[in-house]
Structure 1
Amino acid sequence: MTATDPTHPTDADLTGTAERPWEIAVQTLRASGAALGQLVGGLGTAAMALGVLMPAALAAVTAPVGVGLVLAPAVVRALHALADRERDRLARWGPEIVAPDPPPAALRAALADHTTRRELRWALRHGSLGLLLGLLGVWLPLAAFRDTLFPLVWPLMPPDTSSTSFGFGVAHTWTEALSVSLVGVGWIAVILGLTPGMARLQGRPGRTLLVAGPDTDLSLRVAELTATRAAALDAHATELRRIERSLHDGTQNRIVTVTVLLGVARRMAARDPERADEVLERAQSAAEQALAELRAVSRSILPPVLSERGLAGALSGLAAECAVPCRTDVEAPERCAASVEATAYFVVAEALTNIAKHSGASGAAVTVRARGGRLHLRIEDDGRGGADEEGGSGLTGIRRRVAAYDGTLRVTSPAGGPTVLDVDLPCGT
């Protein structure tokens, strides 16, 4: 046996060393892509914040003559609605933002309310710095694309056309055209290195100014969590009853049948061996059915396919078994908690069962994204629509499963279709 030199890297060490830069590169690309998505999403709310600030300034200037008093209620309502939208946006990319108590309905009290003042400060910061960062989030990829590929289109451009994203007309030779592509590489480096920090900077005013303060009454949130806990316990009890029924009505009866048949075969073995063999064959068949039912029950508790193939593989298996043609698109680079993945699996399984039974659809799609510590699921079909949560369609069970993890379910199902289920779950740890 040859001793291993601890100072000499093994093949496994070299493989791990070779794979690590690739993993870092993939993570960097994903983080930059997510950051660009946040910046572009923040651009929308920043533009709306600027749109709210303009009538707010007009109302403040014209308040002495009475015109501002007419504009002020609409401005305050628009400000609160925009702040709620920003909270929802930030929650999709990170931890949930607990909203403060609703402001008073009376105009004077609403204008003097602490929440209104904080939301106004947020609108000022987000409508200025957040707007600039959002514009950069749109401009940087375009500039990188334009400058990097400039040598490919340079021969087709007019002679005096500006070449770089700065507007400088420097490309008169192939050397200068290639130098422009180096500028594009620089933009790519800026995107990879700075956009995550830019996204955090853009979202910081919302996370500091739109969150409930320490003096805020959180009784509504406590009531919501209490209701969620009750729904989780109810869903757990329902699941236990289902498992008990499956074991009692199915597997237990099969095992009793096996026991009875074995007793009959033992008594018949001496006087009628041929009949005893027939009875033993029936007992073996009943035992195999009991084993199959027991396996089905165990899979319904926690499908082993999740640990074997991950969420993407498990959902692909569900789509392949669905009676309606179904495609899946799963991007979950990091594994979520096992219980969360199991919840996502059962939600998709129940939704696909509903689609096959009730929708009359010719196709379905399942989209899964894991971003910012949240798992987003979207199940849609092109069926007749009109899904009724109160009509025993299984949506109530799905909502209870999702609520047990403090997630959200949104159902859109107009008459004539399509039906869309949007599920948002925390990834857990």
Structure 2
Amino acid sequence: MTVSSSLPDDDRPPPARFAFDRHTWKEIAHLLVNLPAALVGFVYVVVTVSTGAGLSVTVIGLPWLVCGLAGARLLGRAERARARALLGVRIDEPSPLHGPGRRPDGLLGRIWAGLKDPVAWRTVLYEFIRLPWGVLTFAVTLTGLFVFWPVLPYVARGLTNVDRAMVRGLLSPSDELERRIAELESDRGVVVDTAAADLRRIERDLHDGAQARLVALAMGLGLAKEKLLEDPETAASMVDEAHGEVKLALQELRDLARGIHPAVLTDRGLDAALSAIASRCTVPVKVTVDLDERPAEAIEGIAYFTVSELLQNVSKHSAARMASVDVWRRDDRLLIQVQDDGRGGARLDGGTGMAGLSERLGAVDGLFVLESPAGGPTIVTAELPWRRRGKG
């Protein structure tokens, strides 16, 4: 008797043999535990669902049912752990009910989210149908140990393949959807944190820079006004100082605006904008931009600030003699490569902002690859999704 399996190669146990190897004994143990595990799960979900439905006309009915569904999630976790240990089924855990930035507001919102939880309801269905299957597998396996034990490895393999299919079908994340949701939730948290940090930086720069300078300017002009009649020369000197302060304040405001979104990027695109920041780098930088059209403004902005921060790292940390920036399009991806001939040794956790760049690109389905062996060179390759201008 040959038992076929649709399991992936990395999860498929060795072929069943007449010999009782460790894989066979694990499968037999799983089948014998099926009955007590199924009894516990069946009783739990029946009591929880029936009690919650019966009390739904009262104020405690729905919260009780939500708590029961939360417990069903724990049952599912235990069943996945049992399948991993005894059947070698490696499946991811589903995403949490309330991921980062996803917690509903208010009691009613949390109750409604709990009632809609697909992971919990699939576990409830799993526990409902497991009882008759648990009785069958327990009886067949126990009988096989004393009656037809020579062929029991083949029987156990066939029964546990059904178990594997049930675990994968009802207790796994919903294909790629739930994993993708979890990734997007995490990415959204990164975007929110980054935006908040940028706003704090802008506020700090305004408060400590241009705002403080303008306050001093106003005070100086006030004093000059008071001395205008009694000491015109001193007043004229104070006005000259104020004029210099105005120039400095304007320059700080220009620098701040450039840090938010540079005008040259809006007006002339990545080629001119990257050439501008390359000219401010302390090492010679060769910029090559090969694009037949411009991507969306958001993608341009991320590309600009990615290169800007990488070139700042080149200036501060690399001890390089030269660097290069290459930007091109490949299919539906915008590719950026920044290279320098410095001392290398850069790391994502090295405190140079590389980890932040990686998170920012990951938040928009981008990639960030760092190659920096000791002694150099350092090569950073970044990919961003290509989005047409005007379509975001």
TM-score by length of 2: 0.54
- Does the aligned pair in 1 maintain the 2:347–2:370 contact within 8 Å? no
Q: Match for residue 311 of structure 1?
A: 270
Distance, in Å, in 2 between the alignment partners of 1:385 and 1:403 is: 24
Q: Secondary structure at the match of 2:295?
A: coil
Task: Give 1:285's aligned amino acid.
Answer: G
Distance, in Å, in 2 between the alignment partners of 1:311 and 1:219 is: 36
Q: Match for residue 328 of structure 2?
A: 369
Q: Match for residue 412 of structure 1?
A: 371
More helix by share: 1
RMSD value, Cα:
3.0
Task: Give 1:362's aligned amino acid.
Answer: R
Q: Match for residue 256 of structure 2?
A: 297
Q: Match for residue 192 of structure 2?
A: 233
User: Cα 1:253–1:64, aligned 2, differ >3 Å: closer, same or farther?
Assistant: closer
Q: Match for residue 222 of structure 2?
A: 263
Distance, in Å, in 2 between the alignment partners of 1:216 and 1:401 is: 26
Q: Match for residue 357 of structure 1?
A: 316
Q: Match for residue 49 of structure 1?
A: none
Distance, in Å, in 2 between the alignment partners of 1:313 and 1:282 is: 35
Deviation per CA, 1:290-344: give whole Å up to 9, x if none: 1111111111111111122211121122223221121122111121111211111
Task: Give 1:396's aligned amino acid.
Answer: A
Distance, in Å, in 2 between the alignment partners of 1:320 and 1:342 is: 18
How many residue pairs end up in the alignment? 233
- Does the aligned pair in 1 maintain the 2:184–2:363 contact within 8 Å? no
Percentage of identical aligned residues: 43
* Deviation, structure 1 residue 371: 2.5
1:55-134 equivalences in 2 (<5 Å): none
* Deviation, structure 1 residue 366: 1.1
Task: Give 2:285's aligned amino acid.
Answer: C
1:209-358 equivalences in 2 (<5 Å): 216-358=175-317
Q: Match for residue 402 of structure 1?
A: 361
Deviation per CA, 1:268-288: give whole Å up to 9, x if none: 011101100011111111111
Distance, in Å, in 1 between the alignment partners of 2:216 and 2:290 is: 47
* Deviation, structure 1 residue 406: 2.3
Structure 1 unpaired stretches of 5+: 1-55, 57-62, 67-103, 111-213
* Deviation, structure 1 residue 64: 11
Deviation per CA, 1:182-230: give whole Å up to 9, x if none: xxxxxxxxxxxxxxxxxxxxxxxxxxxxxxxx96252222111111110
Task: Give 1:278's aligned amino acid.
Answer: S
Structure 2 unpaired stretches of 5+: 1-8, 10-14, 19-82, 90-172
* Deviation, structure 1 residue 65: 11
Q: Secondary structure at the match of 1:389?
A: coil
Q: Secondary structure at the match of 1:391?
A: coil
Q: Secondary structure at the match of 2:349?
A: helix
Q: Secondary structure at the match of 2:269?
A: helix
Which structure has the greater CA radius of gyration?
A: 2
